[in-house]
């Protein structure tokens, strides 16, 4: 049996739409008929070679890590306790730890220090009509959620990653009614992040920072109190706008969804004493900041990578409760290359999702 897939044959080469064999499943696996696969900037970076040292690939290779689809077949060893059957819609938890290391035992398989893998960055991904996955990595969604797989697929990264980052800021005591929380970069992740800032912020004022007015408009539609365009502006100019909008020149907590060196430098410059910055974006390869302000004002800088199983269950519950707005554009598999290019250039608002009819 054959299926259509978007296939990598090397770095910095367009994906090819090809007919390839449908994967065979093992005893502990399920075969999922992909209904929707979100397109992330990291997919563009994978093709461009950004991850070739961290995640070396054997070509040909099928990318795609934001996946929702229907259970087509269950392996002979899949226990009934998984709670789903053929025909059910599931989302795929993309982080596949080996289950043996301390991180996995703590439930953080996305940080596996053993033999961890990440679908779409090693195991074949979801830019294909079918995917094989271990049954334990699939999460069944509600009947209401099953009506819109194109909304649920992005929750496995665009919706999941900023949620974990905002939880870190909340758990560090950096949010609250007398605080300001910033979200830098209103792309796929940032459009969800401003919503989590409102949901988890304890009444904090939410400020979106981006270089594009249309993305800032989206942030305000999604719940941000204010938006500031940072394009070609100094930190002092941004602080002037902050003061005009909030009465304060600094921000207490920032979730950076860009990973761009210039953006992170700006983030540090506008953090107030005891401020915290959490990075989830991965645009640049390194960042720099002056040491004395970091030490002298007791700033915190944290990394946050993806999310774990329980994080994903929580964001799916928020979505099921109607507490999250989704900004999704459906596209076809045949248009994958032009849409990846648009992602690479920062031209996409919200999330583009490949749908399989």
For 102, list phi and psi in degrees, rounded to 5: -60, -40
Instruction: Look at residue 193 in the predicted model and tell me its pLDDT.
Output: 98
Q: Which fold has domain 161-303?
A: Rossmann fold (3.40.50)
Is residue 13's pLDDT more than 90?
yes
Task: CATH 3.90.180.10 in the chain: give the residue spans.
Answer: 2-157+307-355
> What is the SS3 assignment for 72?
strand
Residue 315's contacts (CB-CB under 8 Å, 6 or more residues apart) are 155, 159, 160, 163, 307, 324
Single out the residue of 79, 15, 17 nearest to residue 43, CA to CA.
15
Task: CATH 3.40.50.720 in the chain: give the residue spans.
Answer: 161-303
- Report the distance separating Cα 206 and Cα 219, nearest Å: 10
Task: Give the mean pLDDT of 155-177.
Answer: 97
Task: Note the CATH number of domain 2-157+307-355.
Answer: 3.90.180.10
Strand runs labelled E in the chain:
2-7, 16-21, 29-39, 66-74, 89-92, 95-96, 117-118, 130-134, 138-140, 180-184, 205-210, 226-229, 251-256, 271-279, 300-303, 328-331, 351-355
Average pLDDT taken over every residue of the chain: 96
Instruction: Look at residue 144 in the predicted model and tell me its pLDDT.
Output: 85
Task: Give the mean pLDDT of 3-19.
Answer: 98
What percent of the chain is predicted at pLDDT more than 90?
A: 93
Q: What is the DSSP letter of 349?
A: -
- Report the distance separating Cα 67 and Cα 153, nearest Å: 5
Task: Give the mean pLDDT of 300-314.
Answer: 97
């Amino acid at each position: 049996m054959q299926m259509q897939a978007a296939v990598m044959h090397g770095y910095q080469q367009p994906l090819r739409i090809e007919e390839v064999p449908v994967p065979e499943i093992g005893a502990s696996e399920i075969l999922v008929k992909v209904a929707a696969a979100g397109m992330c900037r990291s997919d563009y970076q994978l093709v461009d070679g950004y991850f070739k040292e961290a995640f070396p690939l054997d070509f040909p290779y099928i990318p795609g890590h934001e996946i929702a689809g229907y259970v087509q077949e269950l392996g002979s060893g899949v226990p009934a306790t998984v709670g789903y059957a053929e025909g059910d819609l599931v989302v795929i938890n993309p982080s596949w730890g080996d289950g043996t290391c301390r991180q996995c035992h703590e439930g953080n398989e996305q940080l596996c220090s053993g033999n961890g893998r990440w679908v779409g960055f090693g195991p074949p991904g979801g830019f294909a009509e079918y995917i094989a996955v271990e049954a334990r990595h699939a999460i069944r969604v509600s009947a209401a959620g099953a009506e819109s797989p194109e909304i649920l697929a992005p929750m496995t990264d665009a919706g999941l990653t900023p949620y974990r980052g905002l939880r870190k800021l909340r758990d560090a005591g950096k949010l609250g009614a007398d605080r300001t929380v910033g979200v830098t970069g209103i792309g796929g992740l940032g459009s969800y992040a401003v919503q989590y800032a409102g949901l988890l912020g304890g009444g904090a004022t939410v400020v979106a920072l981006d270089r594009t007015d249309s993305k800032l408009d989206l942030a305000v539609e999604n719940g941000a109190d204010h938006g500031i365009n940072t394009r070609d502006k100094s930190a002092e100019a941004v602080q002037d706008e902050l003061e005009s909008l909030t009465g304060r020149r600094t921000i207490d907590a920032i979730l950076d969804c860009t990973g761009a060196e210039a953006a992170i430098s700006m983030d540090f410059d506008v953090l107030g004493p005891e401020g915290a910055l959490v990075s989830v974006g991965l645009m640049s390869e390194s960042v720099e900041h002056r040491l004395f302000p970091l030490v002298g004002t007791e700033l915190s800088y944290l990394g946050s990578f993806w999310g774990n199983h329980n994080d994903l269950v929580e964001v799916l519950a928020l979505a099921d409760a109607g507490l999250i707005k989704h900004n999704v554009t459906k596209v076809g598999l045949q248009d994958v290359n032009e849409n990846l290019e648009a992602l690479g250039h920062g031209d996409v608002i919200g999330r583009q999702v490949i749908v399989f009819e």
